């Protein structure tokens, strides 16, 4: 390791608090191939941290070497930082830790007959002796910052420092479900994580049943980049983003860019200022990461930010969409006598399944019929129920019976013992909004080429803003060109927005963007722009719809993940069950 590299890295190398020590030591244990790691904390780690692992250990010479600065064998050049699998890359941790506390290490490899005991106090020369001990390494760090009272003063109360230690272990534990990890305080077990091959199991142990019972798998890839992990259903949210964990090539990363990418698909599904729980692993070819970012800062810069952004947003979006029709539609027809009669209910489910099967798979409607022999029906239906797309026990919009339009705005339906009103504008708005989001994630825009490019004059201020959101338009399927000092020409638009008033749209977007200002994140800007597009592109109130148009709308509502509110949060439909009507008419 060169000196330049060493100093580059050493600059940010600070043992801030007990949790920093816990993190470094547990990383070392993981690097040493430990399958069991036990951590004991006294006074939140301030008084002592004891870490025992069953990893490969060190022989006499390496044990001594480990306390010399930059003695790592794990990396050789700065560029390799992200190429390596191991977590350590600094050869700095042990000497740094030893310089701020009283440290004792006991270690033995399988090959060496005797173990080594090493004692260092506040960075003095180590005292080394032979000692009996099992294979693996035990490190005890006592009296953190005893030699630097000024820093010691900055430590928080025991419970706070202990929480930081547990957080540090939690991050590492998420990345290594195959390792048994325990954390104990004198009178309490803080974490007890048996080894498992199932990440979801570890998540459930770390976060409790709240997340554990509302968990959705995520799996996606884009080129050489892969994404996997788990997210919480929209019904499980938290008031802060602390339960969002991202790992890039195994390394924990806390980065606003990724946080934004994660939040985008949740936006407008969960309440404002609420956060999901997320554990995501992103694996990127090392060459695609810009390593010119300090490794200890938990940030990362991707060469191809947008690709990663889309992968994260798209992967999570898909997972949510897969799950959403069930949860959100369940409330659509939640009441009614059908629910009270299991047999009737079953038939309902059967019919719904068949319809849904047809809608989702695009497949031919299954050939067996409902009045065929019971066994046969049961068998085939069971098969249908077993596949994911056919499990819903709920209704579809497309099975509603259209009765007419009221006040040029509300579509009136009957179906499933209810009277259903749909706001045509709100419904179409939501459909367009979801489609625009999908287009921008999947790069799947269907463009409509304008025969004559539409030239739009902007004010100089609007034109200045245009540059900031231009890529969002392009993402959605617009082709635009800038002309002269304040003119843009639109050459094509997303097909779903055919007929939209571009002049108005661009002016409104500029207006909105200047209102939200530069502080707005890309997602907020995107959300704003897409909802404006959706609003402008959607069927208006007081617009006559014919039957095929109504049917189309219903079908599209069935296909989108979120069909209960428009992007502004207004309801898309209102439903009166027979019960409710009967109550209103005082029949009950």
Tell me which residues touch Mg ion (CB under 5 A): 28, 88, 93
Residue count at the site for ligand ADP (CB under 6 A)? 23
49 contact, one of ligand ADP, Mg ion, none, CB 5-8 Å limit per kind: none
Exactly one of 1, 15, 66, 263 binds ligand ADP (CB under 6 A); that residue is: 66
Whole-angstrom Cα distance, residue 314 to residue 318? 6
**Whose Cβ is closer to ligand ADP: residue 24's or residue 523's?**
24
CB 128 to ligand ADP: min, Å: 14
221-236 CB burial, b ≥16 within 10 A, e <16: ebeebebbbbbbbbeb
Percentages (nearest 5) of helix, strand, coil residues in the chain: 45, 25, 35
Strand partners, 577: 418
CB 28 to ligand ADP: min, Å: 3
| 92 part of the interface to ligand ADP, by CB under 6 A | yes
- CA-CA distances (angstroms) from residue 368 to 140, 361, 375? 70, 17, 12
| 88 part of the interface to ligand ADP, by CB under 6 A | yes
**Whose Cβ is closer to ligand ADP: residue 137's or residue 170's?**
137
58 contact, one of ligand ADP, Mg ion, none, CB 5-8 Å limit per kind: ligand ADP
Q: Could you tell me if 106 and 63 are in contact, meaning their C-beta atoms sit under 8 angstroms apart?
A: no
Given the rule CB under 6 A, which of 90-98, 153-161, 429-437, 482-490 is the region that contacts ligand ADP? 90-98
Exactly one of 15, 58, 323, 394 binds ligand ADP (CB under 6 A); that residue is: 58
Exactly one of 9, 17, 89, 431 binds ligand ADP (CB under 6 A); that residue is: 89
List the helix and strand counts (H, then E) for the chain.
18, 22
Exactly one of 2, 7, 73, 361 binds ligand ADP (CB under 6 A); that residue is: 73
CB 447 to ligand ADP: min, Å: 51
CB 69 to ligand ADP: min, Å: 8
Given the rule CB under 6 A, which of 84-92, 164-172, 224-232, 480-488 is the region that contacts ligand ADP? 84-92
Q: 65 exposed, middle or buried (CB, 10 Å; 0-12, 13-18, 19+)? A: middle
Picking from 413, 352, 455, the residue whose alpha carbon sits closest to that of residue 545 is 413
Q: Could you tell me if 572 and 423 are in contact, meaning their C-beta atoms sit under 8 angstroms apart?
A: yes
Exactly one of 18, 44, 45, 57 binds ligand ADP (CB under 6 A); that residue is: 57
Residue 92, classed as helix, strand or coil, is coil
Strand partners, 127: 119
One DSSP character per residue, 257-321 reads: HHHHHHHHHHBTTBPTT-B--EEEEEE--GGGEE--S-GGGT--EETTHHHHHHHHHHHHHHHHH
Picking from 383, 416, 384, the residue whose alpha carbon sits closest to that of residue 401 is 416
CB 10 to ligand ADP: min, Å: 12
74 contact, one of ligand ADP, Mg ion, none, CB 5-8 Å limit per kind: ligand ADP
Stretch (H or E) spanning 377: helix 374-386
Applying the rule CB under 6 A, the residues between 26 and 45 that interact with ligand ADP are: 28-29, 31-32
Picking from 211, 216, 305, 244, the residue whose alpha carbon sits closest to that of residue 561 is 216
Exactly one of 39, 94, 215, 300 binds ligand ADP (CB under 6 A); that residue is: 94
What residues contact 348, with CB distance under 8 A and at least 6 apart?
Answer: 338, 393
CB 211 to ligand ADP: min, Å: 31
Whole-angstrom Cα distance, residue 112 to residue 115? 7
Picking from 300, 175, 283, the residue whose alpha carbon sits closest to that of residue 228 is 283
| 71 part of the interface to ligand ADP, by CB under 6 A | yes
Given the rule CB under 6 A, which of 49-57, 242-250, 272-280, 541-549 is the region that contacts ligand ADP? 49-57
CB 27 to Mg ion: min, Å: 5
Q: Could you tell me if 477 and 498 are in contact, meaning their C-beta atoms sit under 8 angstroms apart?
A: no
Label each residue of 114-128 as H, E or C.
Answer: CEEEEEEECCCCCEE
What residues contact 495, with CB distance under 8 A and at least 6 apart?
Answer: 445, 446, 447, 448, 477
Applying the rule CB under 6 A, the residues between 122 and 151 that interact with ligand ADP are: 137
The mark string for 242-281 relative to ligand ADP (x by CB under 6 A, - otherwise) is ----------------------------------------
Q: Could you tell me if 34 and 54 are in contact, meaning their C-beta atoms sit under 8 angstroms apart?
A: yes
| 91 part of the interface to ligand ADP, by CB under 6 A | yes
Please give the DSSP secondary-structure letter assigned to residue 495.
G
Exactly one of 46, 50, 90, 416 binds ligand ADP (CB under 6 A); that residue is: 90
Exactly one of 9, 50, 56, 560 binds ligand ADP (CB under 6 A); that residue is: 56
Given the rule CB under 6 A, which of 22-30, 346-354, 390-398, 565-573 is the region that contacts ligand ADP? 22-30
Given the rule CB under 6 A, which of 87-95, 367-375, 453-461, 462-470 is the region that contacts ligand ADP? 87-95
CB 14 to Mg ion: min, Å: 14
Given the rule CB under 6 A, which of 51-59, 204-212, 399-407, 499-507 is the region that contacts ligand ADP? 51-59
| 411 part of the interface to ligand ADP, by CB under 6 A | no
| 104 part of the interface to ligand ADP, by CB under 6 A | no
User: Binding residues for ligand ADP, per CB under 6 A?
Assistant: 24, 28-29, 31-32, 53, 55-58, 66, 71-74, 88-94, 137
């Amino acid at each position: 390791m060169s000196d330049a590299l060493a100093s580059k890295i050493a600059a940010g190398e600070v043992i801030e608090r007990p949790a920093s020590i816990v993190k470094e030591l547990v990383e070392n244990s993981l690097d040493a191939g430990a399958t069991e790691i036990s951590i004991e904390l006294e006074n939140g780690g301030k008084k002592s941290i004891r870490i025992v692992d069953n990893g490969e250990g060190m022989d006499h010479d390496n044990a001594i070497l480990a306390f010399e600065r930059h003695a790592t064998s794990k990396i050789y050049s700065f560029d390799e930082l992200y190429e390596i699998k191991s977590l350590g890359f600094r050869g700095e941790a042990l000497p740094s830790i030893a310089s701020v506390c009283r440290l004792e290490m006991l270690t033995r490899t399988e090959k060496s007959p005797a173990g080594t005991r090493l004692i260092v106090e506040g960075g003095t020369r180590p005292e080394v002796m032979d000692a009996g001990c099992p294979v693996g390494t035990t490190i005890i760090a006592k009296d953190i910052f005893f030699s630097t009272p000024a820093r010691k003063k900055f430590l928080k109360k025991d419970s706070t420092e202990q929480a930081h230690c547990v957080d540090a272990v939690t991050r590492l534990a998420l990345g290594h479900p195959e390792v048994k990890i325990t954390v104990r305080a004198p009178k309490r077990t803080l974490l007890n994580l048996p080894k498992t091959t199932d990440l979801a199991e570890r998540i459930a142990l770390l976060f409790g049943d709240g997340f554990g019972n509302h968990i959705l798998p995520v799996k996606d890839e884009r080129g050489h980049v892969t994404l996997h992990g788990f997210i919480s259903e929209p019904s499980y949210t938290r008031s802060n983003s602390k339960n969002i964990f991202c790992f890039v090539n195994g390394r924990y990363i806390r980065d606003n860019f990724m946080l934004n990418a994660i939040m985008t698909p949740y936006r407008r599904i969960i309440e404002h200022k609420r956060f999901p729980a997320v554990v995501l692993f992103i694996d990127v070819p090392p060459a695609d990461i810009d390593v010119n970012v300090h490794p200890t800062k938990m940030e990362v810069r991707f060469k191809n930010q947008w690709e990663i952004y889309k992968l994260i947003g798209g992967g999570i979006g898909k997972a949510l969409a897969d799950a959403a029709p069930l949860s959100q539609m369940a409330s659509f027809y939640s009441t009614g006598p059908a629910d009270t009669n299991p047999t009737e209910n079953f038939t309902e489910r059967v019919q719904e399944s068949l319809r849904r099967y047809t809608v989702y798979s695009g497949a031919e409607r299954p050939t067996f019929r409902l009045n065929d022999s019971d066994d046969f029906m049961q068998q085939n239906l069971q098969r249908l129920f077993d596949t994911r797309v056919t499990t819903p026990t709920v209704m579809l919009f497309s099975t509603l019976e259209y009765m007419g339009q009221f006040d040029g705005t509300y579509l009136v339906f009957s179906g499933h013992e209810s009277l259903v009103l749909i706001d045509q504008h709100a419904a179409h708005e939501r459909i367009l909004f979801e489609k625009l989001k999908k287009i921008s994630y999947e790069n799947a825009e269907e463009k409509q080429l304008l025969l004559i490019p539409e030239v739009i004059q902007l004010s100089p201020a609007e034109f200045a803003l245009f540059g900031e959101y231009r890529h969002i338009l392009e993402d959605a399927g617009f082709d635009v060109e800038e002309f002269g000092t304040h003119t843009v020409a639109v050459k094509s638009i997303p097909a779903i927005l055919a007929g939209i008033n571009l002049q108005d749209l661009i002016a409104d977007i500029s207006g909105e963007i200047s209102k939200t200002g530069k502080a707005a994140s890309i997602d907020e800007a995107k959300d704003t722009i897409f909802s404006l597009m959706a609003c402008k592109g959607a069927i208006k109130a007081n617009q006559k719809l014919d039957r095929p148009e109504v049917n189309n709308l219903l079908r599209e509502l069935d296909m989108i993940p979120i069909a209960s509110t428009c992007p502004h949060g207004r309801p898309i439909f209102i439903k009166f069950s027979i019960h409710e009507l009967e109550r209103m008419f005082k029949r009950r």
